[in-house]
């Protein structure tokens, strides 16, 4: 049985625990050498750009709220493209803009994990 991460619901107000953002999402945009699979070969850049635009359009961006960042290889390439949301440390594998929209609307905005997009815990490089 797949274990689902437990999350605490967080409002998008400045964190009281010394954090700067309420939520921080990192997108792997890495491209591995020829012959090796990587997030960059599965439209990671488009997912990142769409997320950044959606977060801005929704008024979620900024200190105490949400930050969208690029990342290098997160060493979970076999599930790519991947993104991870902190502070909950929830990992996602996405396919298209609709997936990103759901992550923004459910997780980044409301703190609700999008279970259908969870990266299985055993997926590595
Ligand atoms: S290339 Fe994206 S996790 Fe490694």
Q: Is 29 within the bounds of a domain?
A: no
Q: Is 2 within the bounds of a domain?
A: no
Q: Which residue spans within 1-125 are E strands per DSSP?
A: 23-28, 66-71, 82-86, 90-93
Assess whether pLDDT exceeds 70 at residue 2.
Answer: no
Element (H, E) at 66: strand 66-71
pLDDT tens readout for residues 25-38: 999 999 999 988 89
Kindly state the average pLDDT of the residues 104-119.
97
- Which atom of ligand 1 lies at the shortest distance from residue 32's CA? 1
Q: Find the range with the poorest average confidence among 6-10, 32-36, 44-48, 93-97.
A: 6-10
Binning pLDDT at 50, 70 and 90, where does residue 19 land? Answer: confident
Mutate to test the pocket of ligand 1, among 34, 48, 82 (most ligand atoms within 8 A of CB): 82
Its domain, for residue 102, covers 35-117
Structure tokens that stand for 99 in this block: 């997936």
User: Residue 24 in contact with residue 55, Cβ under 8 Å?
Assistant: no
CATH (domain of 82): 3.40.30.10
Binning pLDDT at 50, 70 and 90, where does residue 1 land? Answer: very low
Number of domains making up the chain: 1
The reply to whether ligand 1 has any atom less than 6 angstroms from the CB of 39 is yes
Q: Is 8 within the bounds of a domain?
A: no
- Partnered with residue 82 across adjacent β-strands are 93
Mutate to test the pocket of ligand 1, among 28, 34, 45 (most ligand atoms within 8 A of CB): 28
CA of 97 to the centre of ligand 1 (A): 19
Q: Is 81 within the bounds of a domain?
A: yes
CA distance 46 to 4: 27
- Strand, coil or helix: what is 28? strand
User: Residue 114 in contact with residue 106, Cβ under 8 Å?
Assistant: yes
Q: Is 24 within the bounds of a domain?
A: no
Q: Is 108 within the bounds of a domain?
A: yes
Which region, left, alpha or beta, applies to residue 75 given φ > 0 means left and ψ of -120 to 50 means alpha? Answer: left
CA distance 64 to 20: 6
Q: Is 27 within the bounds of a domain?
A: no
Q: Find the range with the poorest average confidence among 9-13, 96-100, 101-105.
A: 9-13
Q: Is 122 within the bounds of a domain?
A: no
Kindly state the average pLDDT of the residues 45-53.
98
The reply to whether ligand 1 has any atom less than 6 angstroms from the CB of 30 is yes
């Amino acid at each position: 049985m797949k274990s689902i991460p437990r999350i605490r619901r967080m409002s998008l107000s400045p964190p009281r625990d010394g954090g700067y953002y309420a939520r921080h999402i990192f997108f792997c945009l890495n491209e591995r050498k020829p012959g090796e699979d990587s997030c960059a070969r599965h439209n990671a850049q488009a997912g990142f750009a769409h997320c950044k635009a959606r977060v801005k359009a929704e008024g979620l961006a900024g200190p105490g709220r949400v930050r969208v960042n690029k990342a290098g290889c997160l060493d979970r390439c076999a599930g790519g493209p991947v993104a991870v949301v902190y502070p909950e440390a929830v990992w996602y594998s996405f396919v298209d803009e609709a997936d990103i929209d759901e992550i923004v609307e459910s997780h980044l905005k409301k703190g609700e994990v999008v279970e259908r997009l969870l990266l299985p815990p055993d997926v590595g490089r």
